């Protein structure tokens, strides 16, 4: 990070205990304003827990500074109202509500950006009256991302946006995230390194609840030895 870059989110000495396990162990990293940061690591290293801890959805210790305010003791809804959008790992759309109702629920003020959301996902406009639980996995992901983009946020936390999607949908979701990244800082968890290469400016790599590498995304992905060591994937897979 250059000196001119302003830090939007700073995580300092973050600890999370889940069911007796010390999942996050003094984790620290920064997310510069305007950047796209990918949170990487093998399965079970604490990526989702990190996102949930920032959101206040998991009990945590340490400091989480967002826009120069410590939010580590704030409730989730207050953190969101500060300008943090969240797309959870398993979409978590409200299946018994319609698409329109899911959006209405997400509206935080009178300036909901339906034009932006429908320009990214025109399909959702046509399915406004359909129950979200009957949408395909890809459509549910569009709804989950659209819900987070509906309000003007300063930071988007996105957990595995392409998980379980068909290749064509991965491309569509990646395009939407590119568009989102033009207007918002993004911190996202992703297993698909092609998507990481396409979107991320910087990476934060976790192992056993700690940050083991942080830096330029391109430099990391171009280093096959680092990719193999930290993620356990070959150069071909990384490409």
Partner 1 sequence: MSTWVLLTITGLGLGAMYFLIASGLSLIYGLMGVLNFAHGAFLTVGAYASWWAQGKLDGIGSIPLRFLLAALVGLAVGALIAVLTELVLIRPLYQRHIEQVLVTVGLGLALTALVAGIWTQTQQVYLTPTWLTETTSVFGAQIPNDRFVEIGAAVAVLLGLLAFFRYTRYGLIVRAGVENRAMVMALGIDVRKAFTLVFAMGGVAAALAGILSGVYFGGIDPARGTHLLIYAFIVVVIGGLGSILGSAAAAVIVGLMQQYANYYASSGIGDIAVILLLAVVLLVRPGGLSGREVAH
| Chosen residue from 96, 182, 225, 236 binding partner 1 by CB under 8 A | 96
Choices 60-68, 102-110, 162-170, 174-182 (CB under 8 A): range interacting with partner 1: 102-110
Which listed range, 17-25, 42-50, 103-111, 225-233, lies at the site for partner 1 (CB under 8 A)?
103-111
Q: CA dist 21 to 14, 41, 66, Å?
A: 14, 18, 27
Q: Is 89 in the site for partner 1 (CB under 8 A)?
A: no
Residues 6, 22, 81, 175: which binds partner 1 (CB under 8 A)? 81
Pick the closer one to partner 1 by CB: 4 or 96.
96
198 binds partner 1 (CB under 8 A): no
Token pair 């989110």 in the structure block, residue = 9
The answer to the question of residue 60 lying near partner 1 (CB under 8 A) is no
Residue choice 50, 151, 162, 192 for contact with partner 1 (CB under 8 A)? 151
Q: Interacting stretch for partner 1, rule CB under 8 A, among 1-9, 85-93, 160-168, 169-177?
A: 85-93
Are the beta carbons of 232 and 225 closer than 8 angstroms?
Answer: no
Q: Of residues 36, 80, 124, 143, which one binds partner 1 by CB under 8 A?
A: 80
Q: Cβ closer to partner 1: 92 or 126?
A: 92
* Footprint of partner 1 (CB under 8 A): 55, 57, 75-78, 80-81, 86, 88, 92, 94-97, 101, 104-106, 108, 147, 151
């Amino acid at each position: 990070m250059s000196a001119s870059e302003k830090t939007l989110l700073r995580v300092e000495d973050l600890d999370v205990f889940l069911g007796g396990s010390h999942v996050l162990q003094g984790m620290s990293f920064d997310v510069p304003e305007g950047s796209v940061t990918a949170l990487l690591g093998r399965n079970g290293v604490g990526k989702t827990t990190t996102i949930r801890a920032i959101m206040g959805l998991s009990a945590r210790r340490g400091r989480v500074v967002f826009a120069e305010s410590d939010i580590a003791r704030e409730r989730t809804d207050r953190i969101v109202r500060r300008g943090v959008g969240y797309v959870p790992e398993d979409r978590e759309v409200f299946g018994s509500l319609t698409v329109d109702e899911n959006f209405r629920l997400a509206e935080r003020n009178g300036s909901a950006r339906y034009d932006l959301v429908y320009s990214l996902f025109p399909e959702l406009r046509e399915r406004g009256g359909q129950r979200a639980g009957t949408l395909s996995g890809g459509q549910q992901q569009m709804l989950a991302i659209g819900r987070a983009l509906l309000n003007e946020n300063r930071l988007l936390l996105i957990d595995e946006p392409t998980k379980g999607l068909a290749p064509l949908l991965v491309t569509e979701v990646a395009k939407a995230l590119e568009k989102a990244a033009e207007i918002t800082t993004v911190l996202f968890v992703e297993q698909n390194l092609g998507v990481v290469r396409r979107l991320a400016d910087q990476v934060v790599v976790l192992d056993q609840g700690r940050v083991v590498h942080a830096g330029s995304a391109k430099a990391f992905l171009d280093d096959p030895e680092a990719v193999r060591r930290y993620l356990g994937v070959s150069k071909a897979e990384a490409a």
